[in-house]
Amino acid sequence: MSEEYILSMKKWCEEILESYDASAEKLERRVASEELESWQNDLIQFKDQLLDTISFDKKELYERANSLYLQLEDFFNEEDETEDLEMSRVHQQSLSVPIGAHTLPPLPYNYNALEPYIEREIMRLHHDKHHKSYVDGLNKAEKEMQKARKTNDFSLIKHWEREAAFNGAGHYLHTIFWNIMSPKGGGKPTGMLLQEINQTFGSFENFKKHFSEAAKSVEAVGWTILVWAPRSRRLEILQAEKHQNLSQWDVIPLLVLDVWEHAYYLQYKNERGKYVDNWWNVVNWKEVESRLQQAKQLLWEPF
């Protein structure tokens, strides 16, 4: 276990150095060369030391790696040098959604784009009615919770927390769901995503079988979700019975399949299995891989 940790740290160092090399030219124009050189030396020194380490403090290694990573991130953030501080603050703020101001994201394609696998009418109702009601419900819950904080009256907090979980999960999962599908979808994943799938499930076929079986056996309503667990640095397939329950708050959804009846009933009636099987034809693997790529930027202490 400890040897594995050292090896994964070493691999991480190599990946960081690679990404540094890829943008070295750009960085050299922005950051003082002594600063870059000292960072690079620190990283190489850290990497070399990993090989000699017999007994080590995992937390200390992690903290050192993290500080090297944060420094590299700072180098990239230098790009904002033309903006003054106020601009940068406004920019940061504009990236966040104000309380109670969520909006319905547009479908990234036409209502009929996923036919014949998912009919136009399902997409229209699912997006315009169902997803919209999650957005409205989440906004309402956030505002009510804000009101509770202001008035210090938390007598209804249990209700609004439930509403926030139910509608928030609905809003966030549907936002992923529209994007992990595409009229140009289907086929097999490639690259790093396929690598991780093979690593955990043995093969894409094994993964697909497991994911489909999990989707078909979700009790009543819910989702099947492929997650990257930053803690174990592995993929996992989870069921979410009623999406407000059984959430693993420490994970990031990558591939989600809506198996609520409203997602397929108009077209498939009670044949959820057929819908699940056909759904694979519209999966947007590029988007799933891009989500994994971003999720993997997270570096948490492994346990």
Which residues contact Mn ion (rule: CB under 5 A)?
258, 260
CB of 174 to Mn ion, least distance (A): 6
CB of 226 to Mn ion, least distance (A): 17
Helices H / strands E in the chain, number of each: 13, 3
Residue among 260 and 268 whose Cβ is closer to Mn ion: 260
Residue 242: name the closest of 261, 228, 255 by CA.
261
DSSP state of 280: G
CB of 124 to Mn ion, least distance (A): 13
Residue among 160 and 260 whose Cβ is closer to Mn ion: 260
Residue among 117 and 201 whose Cβ is closer to Mn ion: 117
Residue among 50 and 169 whose Cβ is closer to Mn ion: 169
3 state SS of 240: strand
Rg (CA), the chain: 23
Q: Report whether 148 contacts 156 (CB < 8 A).
A: yes
Residue nearest to Mn ion (CB): 258
- How many residues belong to the chain? 303
Q: Report whether 299 contacts 13 (CB < 8 A).
A: no
Q: Write phi, then psi, for 112 (nearest 5 degrees).
A: -95, 5
Q: Report whether 231 contacts 155 (CB < 8 A).
A: no
CB of 243 to Mn ion, least distance (A): 9
Q: CA 83 to CA 272: how far, in whole Å?
A: 52
Q: CA 60 to CA 274: how far, in whole Å?
A: 51
CB of 261 to Mn ion, least distance (A): 9
The strand pair at 234-241 and 222-229 is best described as: antiparallel
Residue among 147 and 262 whose Cβ is closer to Mn ion: 262
CB of 117 to Mn ion, least distance (A): 16
Residue among 200 and 247 whose Cβ is closer to Mn ion: 247
